[in-house]
Amino acid sequence: MSEKGFEVIGISSQGKELNEVHDDEGIKVIPIHMSRKITPLQDINSLWKMYKFIKQEQPQIVHTHTPKAGIIGMLAAKLAGVPIRLHTIAGLPLMEAVGNKRKVLDFVEKLTYSSATKVYPNSKGLYDFILQNNYTSIDKLKVIGEGSSNGIDTKFFSSQYFSQENQAQLNMKLNIQQDDFVFVFVGRLVGDKGINELIEAFSQLTIPKSKLLLVGHLESDLDPLLSETVKEIETNPNIISVGFQKDVRPYFTISDCLVFPSYREGFPNVVMQAGAMGLPSIVSNINGCNEIIIEGENGTIIPVKDSEAIKSAMLKMIEDKEFYFKLKENSRSMIQSRYEQAVVWQALLEEYTQLLKERKLNV
């Protein structure tokens, strides 16, 4: 039982991340396999296991995140008679889907929302997209606070923990010189994160003393990069790929600007993290990104899937010092004032408490 009166149980596919949640958060965790792909037979098996567990536990609230956990968790919770069924949307893969795949994903999304009692898009852009596509009624929808699923702990994401000596050591390890201008991307290295366009743009930069730091796992199954993109990453001496890193803060401290040209997002944590670490951002004009970043204040917004626009924005960051330092000066304070984690947590707690009161249920 938490100090707020809630006993929390976390359910996800088995993996080291689930064990880390148990250790870090001190909650009970239950592994139930959920495939990330469209796998009807596996999904039915997952649904049955989820239903049995929820029926046994009889929770007052089930709150799901991600599309697959959403459809399985919301259906199971409805079948098991859970009174409060909440689903948070932090991005919609179907935005890039076409044809029959889009029809299937549209159907699944509508079924998820119809099974939920409340639906929480984590950005105003997603809220509008859901209404425009008639996935659910307006009375079910709500954006918690200013957006974001979890907010950001700006005490943790702070450059104060990293000395100049720490930064010098990491720069030396990665062969980054003190006067290099370092662009950083943090996330999965896949097509719909805009990596193909980012690599094309950076490879065309003619300004010396610039580096591109890639922090994230290269995925080759769901959304692989173009072969020429992979080759450029492997052979360009100014592109540094360090793979997945559990703690991304050291890499922000040695960087000058985040570049995040994703095709679709809900409310991207990485843009908030970079801002909290004092970095301006170049982001694509998509949900979430265009809410966290205000043009000309803490970053710049570019069209989606436009390598030329990425290149131009990168050049401006390097060449226009007055512009760059204005963005940099505003970056941290603009995250603190809108997305501090404690504020988002309090708003979510108040939502839970209100829903329980409305149904005359005790915490």
- The answer to whether residue 29 is domain-embedded is yes
Decide: helix, strand or coil at residue 29: strand
144 with 249, same domain: the answer is no
62 with 147, same domain: the answer is yes
Burial category of 93 from C-beta neighbours within 10 Å (exposed 0-12, middle 13-18, buried 19 and up): middle
Say which CATH number the domain at 227 has: 3.40.50.2000
Decide: helix, strand or coil at residue 133: coil
- The answer to whether residue 3 is domain-embedded is no
Q: Which residue has the tokens 């009889």?
A: 58
- The answer to whether residue 4 is domain-embedded is no
- The answer to whether residue 194 is domain-embedded is yes
35 with 118, same domain: the answer is yes
| φ, ψ dihedrals at 124, nearest 5° | -70, -30
pTM: 0.77
279 with 138, same domain: the answer is no
- The answer to whether residue 135 is domain-embedded is yes
115 with 165, same domain: the answer is no
189 with 286, same domain: the answer is yes
| φ, ψ dihedrals at 274, nearest 5° | -60, -45
| φ, ψ dihedrals at 40, nearest 5° | -50, -45
132 with 272, same domain: the answer is no
42 with 180, same domain: the answer is no
36 with 181, same domain: the answer is no
- The answer to whether residue 190 is domain-embedded is yes
Decide: helix, strand or coil at residue 75: helix
301 with 352, same domain: the answer is no
32 with 130, same domain: the answer is yes
- The answer to whether residue 57 is domain-embedded is yes
Q: Which residue range forms the structural domain that includes residue 211?
A: 159-338
HSE (side-chain half, CA atoms, 13 Å) at 122: 25
- The answer to whether residue 210 is domain-embedded is yes
What does each of the 363 residues of the chain score in pLDDT, given as a tens digit?
Answer: 455 678 999 999 998 889 899 888 889 999 999 998 878 899 999 999 999 999 999 999 999 998 999 999 999 999 999 999 999 998 787 887 889 989 988 999 999 999 999 999 988 888 999 999 999 999 999 998 887 878 899 999 999 999 999 999 999 999 999 999 999 999 999 999 999 999 999 999 988 899 999 999 998 887 899 999 999 999 999 999 999 999 999 999 999 999 999 998 878 899 999 999 999 999 999 988 999 999 999 999 999 999 999 999 999 999 999 999 999 999 999 999 888 988 888 989 999 999 999 998 875
Q: Which residue has the tokens 């330092």?
A: 325
How far apart are the C-alpha atoms of 128 and 266, rounded to whole Å?
12
Q: How many domains does the chain have?
A: 2
The answer to whether 116 touches 85, Cβ cutoff 8 Å, is yes
Decide: helix, strand or coil at residue 87: strand
DSSP letter, residue 234: H
Distances (CA, A) of 195 to 24, 31, 187, 256, 265: 32, 32, 10, 18, 14
333 with 345, same domain: the answer is no
